[in-house]
């Protein structure tokens, strides 16, 4: 995501939050850096209102801290932060996959298979942004098939804390992720609830270690 995109959609605080979140997690904004509301608004060509909303959202997520009369400062990202998010994702995601295995339709399976095929093509083409979008669609499709809207909503909230945009850049992750997705799909086709839960839990838990290594290498985690 780059600054010019905001000129087209200045009303979306979510876009600003996504950009700042990415900068924190790629090391552009190091721990202790002040994120200046006015400066960011000027940089992105938007009013201060969506920027303020975005920074308060990131404060609620724990990425930023608000200091009286000084503004918003980037909080350190810790190993525990990453492992906690991964553990909760693995538990809830596994349950959603198990429920999806019991309820998924043939049409939903066909759509997931199509999305996975496009996702593998995006990874092969080194199209990270498209891969992130398709990966999100794959997981969302399973969560919808689970027919458990409250649980899916919780999963969606937790996923905001996971730096999805980082994963396509981690060496070896696209290939590992594709293998995991294929195992999940296989379990769903067999309507194997236990297998779907295990495959999805393994997939979501497996991302923690390479993500921690990547963020440590980038200086995001000390």
28: CATH: 1.10.10.10
Distance CA 162, CA 102 (A): 27
Q: Are 113 and 164 in the same domain?
A: yes
207: CATH: 1.20.120.530
Which of 25-29, 32-36, 45-49, 94-98: highest mean pLDDT? Answer: 94-98
For residue 180, what pLDDT is reported?
Answer: 98
Question: Which residue range forms the structural domain that includes residue 132?
Answer: 79-217
Strands 71-74 and 34-35 turn out to be antiparallel
For residue 92, what pLDDT is reported?
Answer: 97
Q: Which of 58, 74, 90 is the last residue of a domain?
A: 74
Domain count across the chain: 2
Is residue 207 in some structural domain?
yes
Q: Are 129 and 68 in the same domain?
A: no
For residue 22, what pLDDT is reported?
Answer: 84
Q: Are 13 and 58 in the same domain?
A: yes
Distance CA 211, CA 173 (A): 9
Q: Are 29 and 56 in the same domain?
A: yes
For residue 134, what pLDDT is reported?
Answer: 97
For residue 8, what pLDDT is reported?
Answer: 47
Q: Which of 12, 40, 74 is the last residue of a domain?
A: 74
- Predicted confidence (pLDDT) per residue in 150-167, tens digit: 999 999 888 877 777 788
Q: Are 115 and 191 in the same domain?
A: yes
For residue 131, what pLDDT is reported?
Answer: 95
- Predicted confidence (pLDDT) per residue in 97-146, tens digit: 999 999 999 999 999 999 999 999 999 999 998 999 999 999 999 999 99
Q: What pTM value is reported for the model? A: 0.82
Which pLDDT band holds residue 11 (cuts at 50, 70, 90)?
Answer: low
Kindly state the percentage of the chain with pLDDT values over 70.
Answer: 95
Return mean pLDDT, the chain: 91
Q: Which of 74, 103, 135 is the last residue of a domain?
A: 74
Query: Residue 155: which residues within 8 A CB-CB, separation 6 or more?
Result: 89, 92, 93, 96, 143
Is residue 34 in some structural domain?
yes
Contact 52, 40 (CB under 8 A): no
Q: Are 65 and 89 in the same domain?
A: no
Q: Are 132 and 53 in the same domain?
A: no
Predicted confidence (pLDDT) at residue 61 exceeds the cutoff of 90: no
Predicted confidence (pLDDT) at residue 70 exceeds the cutoff of 70: yes
């Amino acid at each position: 995501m780059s600054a010019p995109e905001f000129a087209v959609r200045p009303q979306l605080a979510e876009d600003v939050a996504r950009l700042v979140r990415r900068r924190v997690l790629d090391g552009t904004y190091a721990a202790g850096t002040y994120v200046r509301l006015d400066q960011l608004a000027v940089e992105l060509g938007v009013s201060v209102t969506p920027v303020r909303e975005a920074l308060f959202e990131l404060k609620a997520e724990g990425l930023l801290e608000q200091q009286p009369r000084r503004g918003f400062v980037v909080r350190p990202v810790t190993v525990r932060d990453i492992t906690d998010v991964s553990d909760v994702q693995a538990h809830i995601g596994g349950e959603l996959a198990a429920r999806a295995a019991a309820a998924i339709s043939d049409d939903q399976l066909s759509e997931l298979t199509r999305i996975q095929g496009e996702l593998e093509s995006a990874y092969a083409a080194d199209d990270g942004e498209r891969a992130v979008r398709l990966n999100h669609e794959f997981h969302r499709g399973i969560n919808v098939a689970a027919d458990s809207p409250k649980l899916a909503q919780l999963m969606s909230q937790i996923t905001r804390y996971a730096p999805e945009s980082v994963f396509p850049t981690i060496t070896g992750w696209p290939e590992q992720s594709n293998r995991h997705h294929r195992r999940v799909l296989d379990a769903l086709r067999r309507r194997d609830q236990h297998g779907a839960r295990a495959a999805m839990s393994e997939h979501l838990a497996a991302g923690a270690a390479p993500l921690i290594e990547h963020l440590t290498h980038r200086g995001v985690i000390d």
